[in-house]
Structure 1
């Protein structure tokens, strides 16, 4: 058979894979060249309003379109062209004006035109003052740069350091906080920054502030000097020292709204309310109650204040979801809280200045500053959380009467228009009694309130601008009462100021004050007969783990005053000496005349504690000082019977060798143990003999009683039986069943089958027989057991 040949079709003529690669590479090179040429020819004076008119790469343009960024803001239209040309920039614009895109777009474009790959290492570093702002910048970078091949990372505190180390060497763009970045620069060996092209500082004025100064200086020392540096903030720093530290090269100052009449957005309505310190909490609660369908941010000066206000308001249930955010929370909790506040329409968040910078919360209606900001720049950043991207917003500043004049003057210099307003008296509520009841019932809430009071006082005391913040003008006692605290907590730094006033005060004033104190004291003693619930609350101390902190925070002024006056009455004060036991009555009389006899309290230490003065009586109230007098305890373990024993510890080899050779010690140990075992054996034998004698005596007494016809004395007898009555008479009177009836009731015996015989009955009878051996005594030794076993076998 002839095989039919199959005709093969020829391959279509085309290009090989190498040709395709070459064409693609040539096309990319042409694109890079045209893009670079377009950037060089870019006119900086032109007013560009659309991203499509900028010389941007295709991946960046696609990312902007997908993220719905089409038009440029004022700061973006001026900063992006300069940044594309590689200039150093100082960018300043109002809050919510789109500064984040002003540096993210140049970062992506400059690295793209430099043909940056993973092998080139770190190309751009973006530093943020807070973790929340760093996360927000990273999210914008991820959206806009989704079509680029760069690898980007987020380096902030609160996450695993080891995981960040493993990925850090492969990153091209890093968004970070200063502290964490410096930690990796010092500890991660695979992290290199020698090829860095761009350094970006967002909220630069805050980063260059005292809080981050040392960290930023250390980071800049690691970075190469030939780089592009960009600084952005709503209130830009212009200090020559700051710019010199960053090694800026002829920076371009881009201030979009510098010529504007106001430093804040025009759509923002700003008010201030004069509220005394003792009324702040009442005003805040009343405001929240009257704005239940709003999104509110409340700024406070310290995290402890935030926690106290959150915990107390949460118990009172104002009718709106409450959140709190401060720097001492864990990173996961901070992320959850920010995401909740972003997603909710109506909620109120209490926060510190962690939230004040850069964060973009959508549709915030009100920004309330319960505590006065440290300066006008902080005020601008706080109110910038609302009225973003030309939207409407409102802000309220609570001012103490002592803060009004200085703060309004600072805001006027910064071109911040603020109008005064008043709270409506009809809607004003007082929560002082509720806070007192909560602090009375919950010692932990009272402790948090005390710490919050101290932190607030410290935040005022450390402020530089004493024209605004003068701690002597604040009503701190009224503030403590408004928080529901039983007394004003002690403030350590204020104690020195009080002592200075007492030293510098004239003697006449002091004497008059003492007289008035004596008069008031007499009045108080008369009124002290009737004690109310609040009097008991003021005297109450925490009885849980917070008791030590409570005693440090709250001062018992009366007690300290009495101690000081008694000690300072005499010029030289001598402690009373314990009198020796006197033999005569005259000596006893002398001791009694000298003063009250000292007390001796035993059981605290080795020696009894002598209480011979009021200072020593005060020592009994301090648990910390009493523990120092006690002996150090020894650790013990308990056996199965509950008996304590010392913990067994191995002996050191040197101590073992000093006691002699090991063989001699072993022989000595065996001798001691053998002697101890012999003694124990003798004790056991004597105990066994004693038991035998007792059993023998009992048995002989029982046999003698039976032989004499006497009942067994140990047998139980009928209780309360009369001699005349027969105890068995009742049983005899009962009717007995007949024998025939019993026989009828018994079941009949089964008849034997034809194949059964008597052998089975005999076998069963043999099994039922028991071989009984009577033993005089219970077997105690091995010989007795052997004799008993021999008897059983026979």
Structure 2
């Protein structure tokens, strides 16, 4: 025997030791939670805190912040995080680039940690962002600072597979999403439950509560529980009572750290504006880019079609700097790729819409150029916030048309935005009008993009609410079209409608004089410097249909003769002036009665509400067009047939008196709910009974199948039936008759390629075709003969 060990401690058994360690760890975690909860309760929200270490944060959050190099608190973080840790509803407003993302992500992690939230508790926090790019950025920050937590977090945005998101959605504790896709999951994903939601966060809340997202946000809030913590953050916070009431906020704390500041934008941001006519905007922009080839520039435009045109045209001009473009119509993968490229580049220029204007953090942006005037001062503040972030320096330039200058400067002054005027240097000014015109002439696709960009820009001005800044008649649209290289300004529908209204309301005397003046003006020769193409000459021709009457006669000769029904061409009439034909509609008037001057018209009834009068060739052609005849027909009504075959409308309104006679609305509602509840219960009972019957039948089939299998093993041959519905006569015919002996089963000899196990395995099988070989094949000829037999 081995000598006993002296001085060694005996190890506890493996299972008991592990349990002790787990229980100690669990006990330590409980104590930490109690200490953390007590520290949060004792926290003074008004006390000044400068670093994250001064806050009562959990160990996983502290480690995540330290690993991500977040140590000191910004103004918005120091004032909002203590209030959020105590469970208060918050309205947070701070300048762009002031660290609002951490101001709501840290409380989200801490509140769920203190409640011991697990994946089995469902969704605990919902973070809503207006754009996909901002949602992705928030999710990346959440992954960094929450890397040591055990929560599951998900990103739900458009442009991805809905099915993949549905499979994972039920296991998420924190969701970062856009409003549209979130509402889609609430309506379509069955496993998605939000009854236990603890926190709702809206980043860029004023944009989310705006008209573009209002319906989606209202629908989302209806699904959420009333008892929750709500936090709204933005650089320009909404204070409307209606907006706050829609979100069910409870005594919200308004945290505005820069409200008393002298300006609404960062102090390190230099802001300028340039007054340039609309026709010179592209020239000035190209000259600016050529002068700043080693800078990182963001150029904002009002629509995605303008972004495409400016990007494609400048790309052909090759200014000497990498060009990119980003707008909402691009696919999600392309948007992510462009965003990553621009973030990692040192010097480049990106043309973008307001998709990029909010929340996105592009490092080291030097210039923000607003080629198109923003719709309001809030949009201006968010656009220029892409530069001068986190106390870095930056510059911004706003391009203004002379008609926009006074109104826009007034709006910026009201928002405390310091901006000063500057002028471009005339020596460095370049003109690209001739080059753009040449490119549009050679490339029809670029010309098409230019036309679409022109229309979208004009519409964006027309629909603006602030008419003090945006008045469509004050813009030089013809000059803008020529500066884009277009041969002329495209026609726009809303302008055409306005012109038609003016013509309709003009007195006839003035209208005739205007037409005469137009004819005289049209007869004038074009200016010497104006270029007229063959298409212009073609469209200026008059009397283009002078041969139409003769051509119709030639066609009529080839067709079979038709009886004269009075429908003749106007050219064949003897009257110089065409007169409207009067049709007799009275029943007393006879067919032979002569009516007015001109041939008798044909009257066709039964198509529409009123009979159709065919008094010209135009009206006759109308009868051949199904599309135009539909306008004359009455709208059809959908009918259903009852059991007796009587047709009636699909939906019939009940009389109010009959409805009131049956009782009050509450009583009828209660009665309807009671009846529906009883019906659902009966259907539930029927379903359960049906499920039991199916289960019993399945069990019986399984039992019979097992019995058949056992019988097949004992007898050595399985008796095959046709199933439950098999023919019993076939079974009786297979049995031996009286006095007959059942033929003994002859065991076939074992082949050379078989062993005992193979023969036993093949015993219960039937209808198997065997090719017998007397001896084992030795030569190639024997193998070929065996293969031929198998193939046959």
* TM-score exceeds 0.5: yes
1:240-255 correspondence to structure 2 within 5 Å: 240-255=241-256
Q: Per-residue displacement from partner, 1:683-720 (whole Å, max 9, x unpaired)?
A: xxxxxxxxxxxxxxxxxxxxxxxxxxxxxxxxxxxxxx
1:326-725 correspondence to structure 2 within 5 Å: 326-505=327-506, 513-514=514-515, 516-524=517-525, 535=533, 558=540, 578=553
Q: Using the alignment, how far apart are the partners of 1:101 and 1:61 within structure 2?
A: 13
Match of 1:705 in 2: none
Q: Using the alignment, how far apart are the partners of 1:322 and 1:206 within structure 2?
A: 28
Q: Using the alignment, how far apart are the partners of 1:268 and 1:537 within structure 2?
A: 52
Q: Using the alignment, how far apart are the partners of 2:527 and 2:482 within structure 1?
A: 24
Q: Using the alignment, how far apart are the partners of 1:24 and 1:484 within structure 2?
A: 74
Distance 1:316 1:121, change over 3 A: same
Match of 1:192 in 2: 193
Q: Using the alignment, how far apart are the partners of 1:500 and 1:78 within structure 2?
A: 57
Q: Using the alignment, how far apart are the partners of 2:192 and 2:478 within structure 1?
A: 54
Q: Using the alignment, how far apart are the partners of 1:511 and 1:425 within structure 2?
A: 49
Distance 1:253 1:591, change over 3 A: closer
Q: Using the alignment, how far apart are the partners of 1:410 and 1:122 within structure 2?
A: 42
Match of 2:66 in 1: 65
More moved, 272-281 vs 345-354: 272-281
Q: Using the alignment, how far apart are the partners of 1:93 and 1:480 within structure 2?
A: 40
Secondary structure at 1:403 match in 2: helix
Is residue 2:127 matched to residue 1:126? yes
Q: Per-residue displacement from partner, 1:370-417 (whole Å, max 9, x unpaired)?
A: 111111100000000000011111111111111111111111100011
Match of 2:657 in 1: none
Match of 1:175 in 2: 176
Residue from 3, 10, 13 that aligns with 1:12:
10
| Alignment length (residue pairs) | 569
Question: Structure 2-normalised TM-score?
Answer: 0.68
Residue 187 of structure 1 and its aligned partner are, at CA, apart by 0.6
Q: Using the alignment, how far apart are the partners of 2:239 and 2:544 within structure 1?
A: 57
Match of 1:313 in 2: 314
Residue 517 of structure 1 and its aligned partner are, at CA, apart by 3.5
Match of 1:276 in 2: 277
Structure 2: segments with no counterpart, 5+ residues: 562-567, 577-615, 629-792
Q: Using the alignment, how far apart are the partners of 2:102 and 2:311 within structure 1?
A: 35
Match of 2:109 in 1: 108
Q: Using the alignment, how far apart are the partners of 1:334 and 1:399 within structure 2?
A: 29
Match of 1:791 in 2: none
Q: Is residue 308–residue 448 contact of structure 1 (8 Å, CA) maintained in 2? A: yes
Q: Using the alignment, how far apart are the partners of 2:205 and 2:492 within structure 1?
A: 35
Q: Is residue 292–residue 346 contact of structure 1 (8 Å, CA) maintained in 2? A: yes
Distance 1:48 1:539, change over 3 A: farther
Q: Is residue 76–residue 102 contact of structure 1 (8 Å, CA) maintained in 2? A: yes
Secondary structure at 1:166 match in 2: helix
Q: Per-residue displacement from partner, 1:52-98 (whole Å, max 9, x unpaired)?
A: 00000111011111111000000000000000000000000000000
Secondary structure at 1:324 match in 2: strand
Q: Using the alignment, how far apart are the partners of 1:344 and 1:526 within structure 2?
A: 50
Q: Is residue 89–residue 230 contact of structure 1 (8 Å, CA) maintained in 2? A: yes
Is residue 2:229 matched to residue 1:228? yes
Q: Per-residue displacement from partner, 1:733-758 (whole Å, max 9, x unpaired)?
A: xxxxxxxxxxxxxxxxxxxxxxxxxx
Secondary structure at 1:312 match in 2: helix
Q: Is residue 486–residue 537 contact of structure 1 (8 Å, CA) maintained in 2? A: no
Q: Is residue 59–residue 145 contact of structure 1 (8 Å, CA) maintained in 2? A: yes
Q: Using the alignment, how far apart are the partners of 2:444 and 2:306 within structure 1?
A: 17
Q: Is residue 440–residue 537 contact of structure 1 (8 Å, CA) maintained in 2? A: no
Secondary structure at 1:524 match in 2: coil
1:125-144 correspondence to structure 2 within 5 Å: 125-144=126-145
Question: Structure 1-normalised TM-score?
Answer: 0.68
Q: Using the alignment, how far apart are the partners of 2:52 and 2:370 within structure 1?
A: 37
Secondary structure at 2:160 match in 1: coil
Q: Is residue 366–residue 393 contact of structure 1 (8 Å, CA) maintained in 2? A: yes
Larger Cα Rg: Structure 1 or Structure 2? 1
Q: Using the alignment, how far apart are the partners of 1:428 and 1:280 within structure 2?
A: 11
Q: Per-residue displacement from partner, 1:631-663 (whole Å, max 9, x unpaired)?
A: xxxxxxxxxxxxxxxxxxxxxxxxxxxxxxxxx
Q: Is residue 563–residue 615 contact of structure 1 (8 Å, CA) maintained in 2? A: no
Q: Per-residue displacement from partner, 1:333-390 (whole Å, max 9, x unpaired)?
A: 0000000000001000000000000000011011011111111100000000000011
Match of 1:256 in 2: 257
Q: Per-residue displacement from partner, 1:489-512 (whole Å, max 9, x unpaired)?
A: 110011121123334556776566
Secondary structure at 1:447 match in 2: helix
Q: Using the alignment, how far apart are the partners of 1:53 and 1:575 within structure 2?
A: 97
Q: Per-residue displacement from partner, 1:517-576 (whole Å, max 9, x unpaired)?
A: 44443332696xx995x7358789xxxxxxxxxxxxxxx6x57x9899x9xxxxxxx999
Distance 1:119 1:503, change over 3 A: same
Q: CA RMSD in A?
A: 3.2
Distance 1:181 1:526, change over 3 A: closer
Distance 1:142 1:5, change over 3 A: closer
Residue 45 of structure 1 and its aligned partner are, at CA, apart by 1.2
Residue 21 of structure 1 and its aligned partner are, at CA, apart by 1.4
Q: Using the alignment, how far apart are the partners of 2:543 and 2:266 within structure 1?
A: 60
Is residue 2:148 matched to residue 1:150? no
Secondary structure at 2:227 match in 1: coil
Residue 515 of structure 1 and its aligned partner are, at CA, apart by 5.2
Match of 2:34 in 1: 33
Q: Using the alignment, how far apart are the partners of 2:537 and 2:452 within structure 1?
A: 19
Q: Is residue 435–residue 483 contact of structure 1 (8 Å, CA) maintained in 2? A: yes
Distance 1:45 1:563, change over 3 A: farther
Residue 165 of structure 1 and its aligned partner are, at CA, apart by 0.9
Q: Per-residue displacement from partner, 1:24-60 (whole Å, max 9, x unpaired)?
A: 1111111000000000100111111111000001110
Q: Per-residue displacement from partner, 1:187-209 (whole Å, max 9, x unpaired)?
A: 11111001100000000000000
Q: Using the alignment, how far apart are the partners of 2:273 and 2:243 within structure 1?
A: 34
Distance 1:7 1:463, change over 3 A: same
Secondary structure at 1:116 match in 2: coil
Q: Using the alignment, how far apart are the partners of 2:290 and 2:255 within structure 1?
A: 43
Residue 17 of structure 1 and its aligned partner are, at CA, apart by 1.8
Q: Using the alignment, how far apart are the partners of 1:438 and 1:518 within structure 2?
A: 35
Q: Using the alignment, how far apart are the partners of 1:173 and 1:74 within structure 2?
A: 26
Match of 1:290 in 2: 291
